[in-house]
Amino acid sequence: MTGATFAQRVAAIAAAFTLTAGAAAAQDLKIGVVNPFSGGMALYGDEMTRGYDIAADQANAKGGVLGRKVVVLRASATNPQEAIAAVEQLIGRDKVDVLSGTYVTAIANAASEAALNNNKLYWETNALARDLTDRGLPNFTRTGPDSTAFARRSVEGTLQLVIPKLGKTAKDMKVWIEHEDSAFGTSIAKEQERLLKEAGVQVTLGSHSARAVDLSDSILRAKNAAPDLWLSTGYVTDHNLLLRTAREQSFRPAAMMLVGTGDTFETLESVGKDFLNGILLVSYPRADVSESFGPGAAAFLAAYRAKYNRDPIAPQAMSAFVGFKILLETIAAAGTTDYEKVIATVAKADKPLGTYETGYGLKLDKTMQNTRALPVIAQWQDGHVKAVFPKEAIAPGGTMLDLGRK
């Protein structure tokens, strides 16, 4: 063997390896997911990503997207700084094609900007704050409902569900709006206040810190105002404490409605099914919605149970599943993962409500927010959460319980 021949062989082998590696990389459509997979929000970061995994499995069972296998790669972020590092890791080390998330608005905010700096798409499925789409980032779109949609749905529920049920008119209806005092709770409460006042409802606003050790003052203030409806936006622990304190203080308004949380086993375990019975919940559509409202919801539930051997922990999973499914459909339609072409493709989409498992359709406004993604109103019924509004979402045989706090 001469030196030249050896060198040629080494070069040939190296070239072959490079081609093989390149071909393998080209085969996978890598989607990087930024979410809290450790720390206090890991439960929900995981739960959302389970929705992505199911959507990827289903796409792969049909041959993948653009002829490539869909691979979901995770990077954990519990704050904005970690979000930037997570994006850099996913793009630099894992060579992902696009990015998706997110359970927390602040993480979505930083991660999407970092994605833009790297010319990558950031596909948002869950984070709520309206500000995310108002920024006008060219690589960003959101398929799930925003905070405004939650506020609007809660007001619709008040006007179309609670007021008739209580035999009241808007003008003699008194609503206490309680909210935790960060941007999440405040933005929803302000929109609720505006819309309810427009409808002529009497409104009082109260706020609290989600980290407060005691919330008796908030409950006593609300009790003193004697509202017909107590409408609250908060996180899990403060909602649990508010409800326990309400029970302790015998605060039982004619109707109670929780926005954002209060619909999982964590609240059931804390407060108990007797006190929860009849309480309304504004939340992401759950897998128990009727098939005519959310076609395929039952199949999603079956797929979740088959993969994880349990029921979904929270409704965020199905909303994430739908968002990811829309992402894969859009990439297939665009024929590329280039963010400008993907965004241009999804901007033209026009699908009616009731297209997806969550009952969502797809029609983006100019800020790239999906205007056909709406939460539903559910109700605690004997330890279970059942959809009760809009009426098309109610499962066969389902009904709404009395709102009366017994």
Residue ranges in contact with another protein by CB under 8 A: 36, 38-44, 46, 181, 206-209, 211-218, 220-221, 224, 236-237, 240-241, 244-245, 247-250, 266, 269-270, 272
Contact 229, 257 (CB under 8 A): yes
CB of 313 to another protein, least distance (A): 9
C-beta of 259 vs 343, nearer to another protein: 259
CB of 101 to another protein, least distance (A): 17
C-beta of 41 vs 73, nearer to another protein: 41
Question: Sheet harboring 98-101: ordered strands across?
Answer: 69-76, 28-35, 98-101, 122-124, 140-142
CB of 84 to another protein, least distance (A): 21
C-beta of 44 vs 184, nearer to another protein: 44
Which residue has tokens 């706090």? 405
Helix (H, G, I), strand (E, B) or coil at 127: coil
Phi, psi of 167, rounded to the nearest 5 degrees: 65, 35
**What DSSP designation does 391 have?**
G
Cα–Cα distance between 140 and 163 in angstroms, integer?
Answer: 38
Cα–Cα distance between 3 and 13 in angstroms, integer?
Answer: 15
C-beta of 46 vs 131, nearer to another protein: 46
CB of 205 to another protein, least distance (A): 10
Cα–Cα distance between 124 and 131 in angstroms, integer?
Answer: 13
CB of 206 to another protein, least distance (A): 7
C-beta of 1 vs 213, nearer to another protein: 213
What stretch of H or E contains 177?
strand 174-180
Contact 151, 375 (CB under 8 A): no
CB of 215 to another protein, least distance (A): 7
C-beta of 103 vs 360, nearer to another protein: 103
